[in-house]
Structure 1
Amino acid sequence: MMNKTQYISLSLIYININITHFLYIVTILKNIIS
């Protein structure tokens, strides 16, 4: 059973990965467009 702080930190890591992934895709799209 996970406690609250573990859950929050895991969520933050997950969100971080998603943002990084999103920025990576945006960068690629910009390169394709220009």
Structure 2
Amino acid sequence: MRARQLFRLAARAELVTWTVLLLGPPWTWSVQP
């Protein structure tokens, strides 16, 4: 029953992880030109 919800949460966490790894932390975006 909760498998889909857990999967969605895991997928979102993975997306955030890859975004931070590729682009850097969000708080550095405004610093970069």
Same fold (TM over 0.5): yes
Write out the 4+ residue segments of structure 1 that deviate beyond 3 Å after TM superposition: none
Q: CA deviation at 1:16?
A: 0.1
Q: How many pairs were matched up?
A: 24
Q: RCO (CA 8 Å, sep 6+): is it higher in 1 or 2?
A: 2
Using the alignment, how far apart are the partners of 1:15 and 1:22 within structure 2? Answer: 10
TM-score by structure 1 length? 0.63
Instruction: Confirm whether residue 22 of structure 1 aligns to residue 23 of structure 2.
Output: no
Aligned CA-pair RMSD: 0.8
Percent identity for Structure 1 against Structure 2: 0
Unaligned 5+ segments in structure 2 are 25-33
